[in-house]
Amino acid sequence: MGKATGFMEYERQDKSAEEPKSRIRHFQEFHTPLSREEQECQGARCMACGVPFCQSGQMIMGMASGCPLHNLVPEWNDLIYHGNWEEAYYRLKKTNNFPEFTSRVCPALCEAACTCSLNGDAVSVKANEYGIIENAYEKGYAAAKPVRVRTGKKVAVVGSGPSGLAAADLLNRRGHSVTVFEREDKAGGLLRYGIPNMKLEKQIIDRKLVVMKEEGISFVTGCDVGRDKKAASLLKEFDRVILCCGASNPRDIKVEGRDAKGIYFAVDFLKSTTKALWREDKRDKKAKLKESLPKEGDYISAEGKHVIVIGGGDTGNDCVGTVMRHGAKSVLQLEMLPKAPDVRAENNPWPEWPKVCKTDYGQEEAKAVFGHDPREYETTVKRFVKNKEGNVCQAVLIKLEAKKDEKTGRMQMAEIAGSEYIVSADLVLIAAGFLGSESYVTKAFGVSTDARTNVASSAGGYSTSAERVFTAGDMHRGQSLVVWAIREGREAAREVDVSLMGYTNLNIQ
């Protein structure tokens, strides 16, 4: 695939990023794509390695290596190298329902497993994927292709995140009539309200939703199934139901002073910013992006505040990037674990996922403005201090160290006595992950859950303990990546199709 000597002739190139101090002035995406010619050279770097680890999606040492969607990476790299962009799009769409999303927000497991990365720089797979899908929209290849024959079967999908949308897309293509229910005012799930605009502009989601609607999928927003609409009613109206409600329970921290005002879960903070950035034009009923946040509005503002972000993952970084755009006075990001090494350790060889320190866009921006990395490792909150009005004003932090638990024998982070110190805190954002599905949904449908409150399913499958009810995505596997959610939605769709028709012609790999 690609050019046999391409990886030796061409250096890796990727989309260029706007300078940190410039991009924090707006909420738009800030990468400049490669030109078509540059992208074709990058496709040439795919080295015909024989064993494409990039598309394997296998689990090694508990971590995914390569793409969980089994994207046909070498094939579409070769096609763009030869200038056949249309066929590259069809090969990409064969395994991935939403390359417009993954080419923006995926951490590129494919690149970490690329054979070129063993002794050099990986092929710029994610940028190539971006080029293919954006070219497809520009040339019309990605336009709606309405289904001609319907089966007469009806499927309800509860939740419009990536797993729900993937399941809906495939089942609609099969000819079933699909209705997607979403409790928020707009479809997209955490793609819309959990991922900030600078990573995924919301018109990109809307562009795809228009296509899906034109292909026959119905969307019902502002409908909270389990509350606004009874589970029994849904099961009476539809032949099958797929629960794709996400891992919606944010993990809290239990410390003294937690009840202070000014402490929020990260997803609530990010959602408030996204909603504030969009306005409804009452004349033509279209949502339009504002140039910047309003001075006053119904959103959680970080302007002029000392901000603490608790959690070191992607969501924590998104909070850092967002408060930088608000105009925070300072930002401190707390991570309980030690700093990861800057290069692969000997016990973390390729093609395992590299457990190395990653400095993401939000941390880059904070470093550019404040002169230092915002992260404090091996640190947590001991307690919060409130002022007379009940607002958080300080946080008492404490350092941690790894110690072996005498009872379990496992290593855990323990407090270091006497290491407490005080920092200013006007706004605290908790980005400590999620705990699983919400009980009012699982109880409404009578589905069993596991010890982590994820919806339990058949072994290796997606059917739940309730008849005609299936599940997929974070609600099923726990908090994970968009690519895993899409894969689960695809696999669940295939299982639902078999249950409806007795067979399936949905080829998901």
Q: Is the pLDDT of residue 282 over 50?
A: no
| Predicted pLDDT at 278 | 79
Query: Rounded to two decimals, what is the model's pTM?
Result: 0.95
Tens of pLDDT, residue by residue over 228-266, are: 999 999 999 999 999 999 998 899 999 999 999 999 999
Q: Is residue 412 within a helix (H) or strand (E), and if so which, with residue range?
A: strand 411-415
| Predicted pLDDT at 133 | 98
Q: CB-based burial of residue 291 (10 Å sphere; 0-12 exposed, 13-18 middle, 19+ buried)?
A: exposed
Q: Is the pLDDT of residue 507 over 80?
A: no
Q: What is the chain's mean pLDDT, rounded?
A: 94
Q: Looking at the chain, how many residues does it have?
A: 509
Q: Residue 334 corresponds to which tokens in the numbers above?
A: 């707390």
| Predicted pLDDT at 405 | 84
Mean pLDDT of 380-401: 97
| Predicted pLDDT at 49 | 87
Domain residue spans in the chain? Answer: 6-139, 154-249+435-501, 263-430
| Predicted pLDDT at 70 | 96
Architecture field, domain 263-430: 3-Layer(bba) Sandwich (3.50)
Q: Homologous superfamily of 6-139 in CATH?
A: Alpha-helical ferredoxin (1.10.1060.10)
| Predicted pLDDT at 2 | 73
Q: Is the pLDDT of residue 203 over 70?
A: yes
Q: Is the pLDDT of residue 296 over 70?
A: no
Q: Is the pLDDT of residue 172 over 80?
A: yes
Rank 17-21, 280-284, 405-409, 458-462 by mean pLDDT and report only the highest.
Answer: 17-21
Q: Determine the longest span between alpha carbons in the chain, in angstroms.
A: 71
| Confidence band for 60, pLDDT divided at 50, 70 and 90 | very high
Q: What percent of the chain has pLDDT over 90?
A: 87
Which residues touch 246 (CB under 8 Å, ≥6 apart)? 159, 161, 189, 190, 434, 437, 473, 474, 475
Q: DSSP secondary structure string, 251-310? A: PP---BTTTSBTEEEHHHHHHHHHHHHEEEETTTTEEEE-SS--SSSSS---TT-EEEEE
Tens of pLDDT, residue by residue over 211-232, are: 999 999 999 999 999 999 999 9
User: Can you give the C-alpha Rg of the chain in angstroms?
Assistant: 23
| Confidence band for 47, pLDDT divided at 50, 70 and 90 | confident
| Predicted pLDDT at 205 | 98
| Confidence band for 1, pLDDT divided at 50, 70 and 90 | low
Cis peptide before 351 (omega within 30 of 0): yes
Three-state DSSP at 162 gives: helix
| Confidence band for 160, pLDDT divided at 50, 70 and 90 | very high
6-139 and 263-430 agree in CATH topology: no
Mean pLDDT of 442-460: 94
Residue 171 identity: L
Neighbours of 356 (CB within 10 A): 13
Q: Is the pLDDT of residue 73 over 80?
A: yes
| Predicted pLDDT at 267 | 95
Tens of pLDDT, residue by residue over 306-360, are: 999 999 999 999 999 999 999 999 999 999 999 999 999 999 999 999 999 999 9
Q: CB-based burial of residue 251 (10 Å sphere; 0-12 exposed, 13-18 middle, 19+ buried)?
A: middle
Q: Is the pLDDT of residue 286 over 70?
A: no
Q: How far is residue 90's CA from residue 380's CA, in Å, rounded to a whole number?
A: 48
Name which of 468, 437, 457, 448 is nearest 155 in CA terms. 468
Q: Is the pLDDT of residue 145 over 90?
A: yes
Architecture field, domain 154-249+435-501: 3-Layer(bba) Sandwich (3.50)
Name which of 411, 469, 38, 434 is nearest 267 in CA terms. 434
